[in-house]
Structure 1
Amino acid sequence: MNKQEQYLRVFRYFDGNGDGKISAEELEQCVKSIVGDQTNGGGLNLSLKEAEAVVAALDGDGDGLLGVEEFMRLTEGDGGEEELREAFKLYEMEGSGCITPRSLKRMLSRLGERKTMEECEVMIAQFDLNGDGVINFDEFRVMML
């Protein structure tokens, strides 16, 4: 599966109603379903206002929705690569180059989030685009939307 196919797969996941566009509500709900409801100040939650701002910033055709190309710009980003790599290193399994359910559980525990191994496996499966059971850096970038 090449990178574009991976992005399309994630796009389809975010596109809850299958209309070929991602609304701010779909973006918010998808992020919430992936990281869980972080209303306790965990810092990972994407509010509807934040989702609306993301959509507005990337909405090239003015329809208030993200198409595939706009979504790819969001996931690829144009900056923050170094910061993202540093964050990835916090979650990865000691230099393995990937995030395993165990390393995710360990890091979330350090952040005060108690998750079971099964919950971590589900979180990883959401963005495990190549189906290998772990998250590589490209998958992590998409996960961190």
Structure 2
Amino acid sequence: MVAAKSAELRALFLSLDRDADGRISPAELQGCMRATLGEDVPAEEAEALVASVDADGDGLLSESEFLELAQQADAGEEDGERRIWALREAFGMYEMEGLGCITPASLARMLGRLGAERGAGECRAMICRFDLNGDGMLSFDEFKIMMS
């Protein structure tokens, strides 16, 4: 599987290297991100990405530097997945009523179990600060925002 991933990354590198000079410029990287991710990345951000792994300081990505950047992206993605899993676990501890959301009552119960007793009004106020849709409860997406 590692060889297949390496071959995919090499093919991607070659396709990004529009001028076939064996290096990817920040502009080429920027174009790739626009085409593959649908994101318009500012030139400064593309330059910062290149600089983050530019071992020889030429302002361009060699194939080995590109592979380093790809490995960093994979590691960041794994960290993100672990964080989401941990947040889902935490959310599940507070979401006790099977509604798929945290209610003032379920928040009060969990806080009580943690030794941080809060009244219903306080719990409603806590939820209200992050309740983006105004339903009086926290969805998982609202909980993620609260925890960030």
TM-score (norm 2): 0.48
Structure holding more helix per residue:
2
Larger gyration radius, structure 1 or structure 2: 2
> Comparing both chains, which one has the higher relative contact order based on Cα–Cα distances under 8 Å and sequence gaps of 6 or more?
1
TM-score (norm 1): 0.49
